[in-house]
Amino acid sequence: MGRMKKGLIKRIGAAERKYVEELLSSDFSNSSNPGLLGRFEKAFAEKIGTKYAIAHVNGTTTLHSALFAAGVRAGDEVITTPLTMSSPALAILQADAKPVFADVIEDTFQIDPASIERRITPRTKAIMPIALYGLSPEMDPIMVLAKKHNLIVIEDAAETFLSKYKGRMVGSIGHLSSFSLQATKHITAGEGGVVCTNDPGMADLVRKFSVLGYSTVSATVGKITKDDIQNPNFERHVQLGYNYRMPEVCAAIALGQLEHADELVQRRIDSANLFLEAIADCEWLKPQVTPLNCTNSYWALAVRLIHPSVDWTVFRKKFMEFGGDGIYAAWKLSYEEPMFQEKTRNFAGKEKILGAMHEGGLPTYEIGLCPLAERVQKQILAFKTNYWDWSRAEKQAEILRKTIKYFS
């Protein structure tokens, strides 16, 4: 991808409307269903470069399904980063497992493989690296650790689409990967998620787990047939499963999004580059470092504010006073959230399972557990990149320049 023609681009275009109309014309009849879910899954797998893609209702259910397919069960441990939205940690708890948090690399904000290694115990079952803000973690050393310790790697690529790590598509490197199609993401169906894998056994497990444990669904079959359901002797459920399947109408929109995904992703990259040019000479705004062996799809442009005397909230307030759209903070670290802290801890009933499975009772998460993540989280300014109107992106970059000049 290279810089595209500037101007106004449509996030939702003719393709999305065409596929939605195709679905509506079927009256949602099983006998005339156009099979948009299966068509979307096939197209998504081809785009990412994996053998299988299993669509879900959102990008948190995908993590739950992937954890099940990875063999994560009650009492196991899964290592992830605390510097992200808390969905990964919540999904680990939903799997009756213990979230274990590794620290980050300061300049990329990504999970540190050296910290991962220090957190591995006999209970560790999986590693869940997060491709934060559109950039891949250091996947090669993570995969080496996984092989050495017989662990499963689940890539959380919710904030990443069409990014690459050493020429490989993010989401095609780990044993499993999870994507989000929530409204703010690179491509969207309003809501939705996808699990990708090259392993047919894991794909089968993901499918069954996400479709009520039905006996006849599989890696490539997402629905039970009319012949099955009309048979009084049909044995439906072979395992516990959830109703996580993506609705057909979301699949229709997502299929259309794939047809101009390159354009949508490129606009975010171009917007990020516009902002990077604006801060190029500013010594106290440090952008997330993208290593030379990676491409960043910039779900957002994340920048560290390290000015000795300018407060984060003061900078944001002045940016907005000048007409800026606003600046997002990094999420509070997962283990700093009230639900993880000992005085207010609330795991919605998982306390009994985790307490019984771990010697010494429930896990504790002390402040200071991941010191680099704790420092970086307070510094991050995350600028929007989803500017479909290029003139608006240019205006925002000028406002950023004005704000930098004000504090310089």
318 catalytic per annotation: no
Label the pairing between strands 300-305 and 380-384.
Answer: antiparallel
Cβ atoms within 10 Å of 323's Cβ, excluding its own: 12
* Active-site annotation holder among 47, 98, 125, 185: 185
Three-class SS state of 80: strand
Q: Dihedral of CA 213/216/221/222: which sign?
A: negative
| Adjacent-strand bridge partners of 303 | 287, 381
C-alpha closest to that of 135 among 152, 103, 110? 110
Cβ atoms within 10 Å of 351's Cβ, excluding its own: 13
DSSP run (H or E) holding 152: strand 152-156
C-alpha closest to that of 63 among 99, 101, 37, 89? 89
4, burial (CB in 10 Å: exposed 0-12, middle 13-18, buried 19+): middle
Q: Which two tokens stand for residue 230?
A: 């009309």
C-alpha closest to that of 174 among 218, 111, 114, 222? 111
Strand residue runs (E) in 292-363: 294-295, 300-305, 328-329
Angle at 229 between CA 228 and CA 234, to 5 degrees: 65
Q: Just list the catalytic residues.
A: 185
